A and B are shown apart, each in its own frame.
Chain A
């Protein structure tokens, strides 16, 4: 077998295994709940019967491993269970027709919104940071490099909500260019959606660009100091040829890793930014559900975030395996 295929299979297998364990952790977290959570959820109006019915509906009368397998197979088919909210009163009266909504119906529209915001940020942030990083590496220790570096350090250290509030003050309040509330709905037309999401996207861009740019700069500098680049320069190759043909093939792997790392960071940063701008995304849903302690929704959100995080890291590793020149030309 070609070494690339072997490495790829190994890496993807590892990704699936970690996904399995992550789902196990997320599922079993429900069982960590102190006390009997069925009674806690149903509240004061519970009776012996409703407790028993609810417990049966959640499958709590079955052993742990069977519940896990049931939950997992349902989750794979897109069914993440029902929410707890609105359960206590209505459920006690009419246990047969529960009014609780499914987690999936809550998640779906918000998932689209969050990915829209993340994609918009990535479209701005990735090219910008690659450009800044590469130019800062090429013109290192100049005034340009130092300015870019210092501002990067400053934005890294600031919490997201600080950046967001500064942007709101400058661009939404004193000069009213953009709205400070990004209340998009599913019927919002595309361009209005972009306009409404500009401030959250800008905040996320500022937060991620700094990190991505610094890492790109470090990767390029690291590469340019290696002996084979010096060799290429000494051979008398032109500067563009050295960079495009000699440096770049080896730079894809670190750059892919940097981008994936920051996109993964993006989906975490999205939580805070969505709350600031009241953007109806998964992050906001998760925070709301944490406050309400609506655990199925929290689990669903956590699963979505973890899935995205793991797949992004997997994609980055696959790219770095595929583009690795040492694996492309086996001995």
Chain B
């Protein structure tokens, strides 16, 4: 190193030894540089996943276990009291993490398989398939998705299976648009052309040539889509047409305990009962958003106006 910190010297650059780091080491270095919000987001997400995975071990009581006292106050036996039927709120919150997040992740995955697959297919094949799919998606997107979901649920009925399929299909339209747009940029590259001339199958071109190169925006989109799907399922459950009882789910928990809100002036803890699941939804969304923001910042190289 020369004496002046900022001075550039070709000799120095040549002289530095290139350190080969493992993936784990590189990840560690990136993590060390992560801003506070990213750490906060990752902690939140990690806690939620932990609670969801180990729900039966953490929860004091069963998911649908009924106790004698309905609307029990907050005390040592029931930390957050019980609901209308006498089910322990804390246990239902913990099981709710599993049910609500599980369904949301499943839906988002399905949306990415449908939307991403068709998007890449449209980007590679072009021609009428591309035109047909793109116009079809335009039409589907002309109806607000919550309204569309409500309509379809009224026809097919509100079961968890229908919920997952309907929201996944509605949400796949946005994934389709993104993967088609970024896929188009990669599909015209020489190496894709080379793969095609080698006679590779379309599945290989999609999975091995294009997909690795568009992964960062898709991963970021996965986080944002997850938030969106999560909020949508919560809203639908809150409206009473989403996840059906007795499955513990945060949206329907807010609905079931909503009337307690009027007693806020007498007993603030009672009024907090519907707030707890609603806050659980909000905090996870914020956490995921923080992580996605940081991830986008890292991968896009788009440091927008933060200079």
Chain A residues engaging chain B, CB cutoff 8 angstroms: 18-19, 21-22, 25-26, 29-30, 32-34, 140-141, 153-154, 156-162, 165-166, 168-169, 173-174, 176, 180, 221, 225, 264, 267-268, 271-272, 275-276, 286-287, 289-291, 293-295, 298-299, 301-302, 305-306, 309-310, 313
Chain B residue nearest to A158 (CB atoms) is B282
**Is the C-beta of B151 less than 8 angstroms from some C-beta in chain A?**
yes
> Can you list 18 A-B pairs, Cβ within 8 angstroms, ordered by A?
A21-B142, A141-B306, A159-B251, A159-B282, A162-B279, A168-B261, A173-B263, A173-B264, A174-B265, A276-B258, A287-B239, A290-B151, A290-B239, A293-B155, A294-B154, A295-B154, A306-B144, A306-B147
Interface of A is mostly: helix
Chain B residue nearest to A140 (CB atoms) is B305
**Is the C-beta of B231 less than 8 angstroms from some C-beta in chain A?**
yes
**Is the C-beta of B193 less than 8 angstroms from some C-beta in chain A?**
no
Indicate whether A180 sits within 8 Å of B262 (C-beta atoms), given known contacts A140-B305, A287-B241: yes
Give the distance to chain B from A71, nearest Cβ to Cβ, in Å.
Answer: 15
Chain B, 202-235, CB within 8 A of any chain A CB: 227, 231, 234-235
Chain A residues whose C-beta falls within 8 Å of the C-beta of B235 in the assembled complex: 159-161, 271-272
Indicate whether A302 sits within 8 Å of B150 (C-beta atoms), given known contacts A140-B305, A159-B238: yes
Contact across chains for B147 and A268 when beta carbons are under 8 A apart: yes
Chain B, 138-167, CB within 8 A of any chain A CB: 138-140, 142-148, 150-157
Give the distance to chain A from B35, nearest Cβ to Cβ, in Å.
Answer: 13
Spot the interface stretch: B65-73, B82-90, B270-278: B270-278
Indicate whether A289 sits within 8 Å of B261 (C-beta atoms), given known contacts A157-B286, A161-B254: no
Contact across chains for A21 and B282 when beta carbons are under 8 A apart: no
Chain B residues whose C-beta falls within 8 Å of the C-beta of A140 in the assembled complex: 305
Give the distance to chain B from A289, nearest Cβ to Cβ, in Å.
Answer: 7
Give the distance to chain B from A176, nearest Cβ to Cβ, in Å.
Answer: 8
Chain B residue nearest to A298 (CB atoms) is B154
Give the distance to chain B from A157, nearest Cβ to Cβ, in Å.
Answer: 4
Chain B residues engaging chain A, CB cutoff 8 angstroms: 138-140, 142-148, 150-157, 227, 231, 234-235, 238-241, 251, 254, 258, 261-265, 268, 271, 274-275, 278-279, 281-282, 285-286, 289, 305-306
Contact across chains for A271 and B282 when beta carbons are under 8 A apart: no
What separation, in Å, do the CA atoms of A166 and B146 have in the docked complex? 23
What separation, in Å, do the CA atoms of A159 and B229 have in the docked complex? 12
Indicate whether A165 sits within 8 Å of B150 (C-beta atoms), given known contacts A271-B239, A287-B240: no
Indicate whether A309 sits within 8 Å of B143 (C-beta atoms), given known contacts A287-B150, A298-B154, A299-B151: yes
Contact across chains for A18 and B278 when beta carbons are under 8 A apart: no
What separation, in Å, do the CA atoms of A67 and B126 have in the docked complex? 36
Chain B residues whose C-beta falls within 8 Å of the C-beta of A313 in the assembled complex: 142
Contact across chains for B139 and A22 when beta carbons are under 8 A apart: yes
Chain A residues whose C-beta falls within 8 Å of the C-beta of B286 in the assembled complex: 153-154, 157
**New A-B contacts (4) at CB < 8 Å, excluding given A18-B139, A173-B262, A275-B238:** A141-B305, A161-B235, A272-B235, A290-B151
Give the distance to chain A from B178, nearest Cβ to Cβ, in Å.
Answer: 17
Contact across chains for B150 and A271 when beta carbons are under 8 A apart: yes
What separation, in Å, do the CA atoms of A267 and B156 have in the docked complex? 24
Indicate whether A29 sits within 8 Å of B261 (C-beta atoms), given known contacts A162-B275, A302-B147: no
What separation, in Å, do the CA atoms of A135 and B98 have in the docked complex? 42
Indicate whether A310 sits within 8 Å of B239 (C-beta atoms), given known contacts A169-B275, A173-B265, A271-B147: no
Chain B residues whose C-beta falls within 8 Å of the C-beta of A22 in the assembled complex: 139, 142-143
What separation, in Å, do the CA atoms of A291 and B148 have in the docked complex? 15
Cross-interface CB contact of A29 among B155, B275, B279, cutoff 8 Å: B155
Contact across chains for A306 and B143 when beta carbons are under 8 A apart: yes
Chain A residues whose C-beta falls within 8 Å of the C-beta of B153 in the assembled complex: 290
- Interface hub of B146, B154, B285 (most chain A Cβ within 10 A): B154
- Interface hub of B150, B157, B285 (most chain A Cβ within 10 A): B150
Chain B residues whose C-beta falls within 8 Å of the C-beta of A299 in the assembled complex: 151
Give the distance to chain B from A29, nearest Cβ to Cβ, in Å.
Answer: 6
Chain A residue nearest to B293 (CB atoms) is A153
Give the 4 A-B residue pairs with the shortest CB-CB distance, closest first.
A173-B264, A162-B278, A157-B285, A290-B154
Cross-interface CB contact of A32 among B138, B155, B227, B281, cutoff 8 Å: B155
Chain A residues whose C-beta falls within 8 Å of the C-beta of B241 in the assembled complex: 287, 290-291
Contact across chains for B151 and A26 when beta carbons are under 8 A apart: yes
Contact across chains for B151 and A268 when beta carbons are under 8 A apart: no
Chain B residues whose C-beta falls within 8 Å of the C-beta of A291 in the assembled complex: 240-241
Give the distance to chain B from A302, nearest Cβ to Cβ, in Å.
Answer: 5
Cross-interface CB contact of B142 among A18, A30, A301, cutoff 8 Å: A18
Contact across chains for A290 and B285 when beta carbons are under 8 A apart: no
Indicate whether A268 sits within 8 Å of B143 (C-beta atoms), given known contacts A173-B262, A275-B239: no
Give the distance to chain B from A10, nearest Cβ to Cβ, in Å.
Answer: 15
Chain A residue nearest to B281 (CB atoms) is A159
Chain A residues whose C-beta falls within 8 Å of the C-beta of B238 in the assembled complex: 159, 161, 272, 275
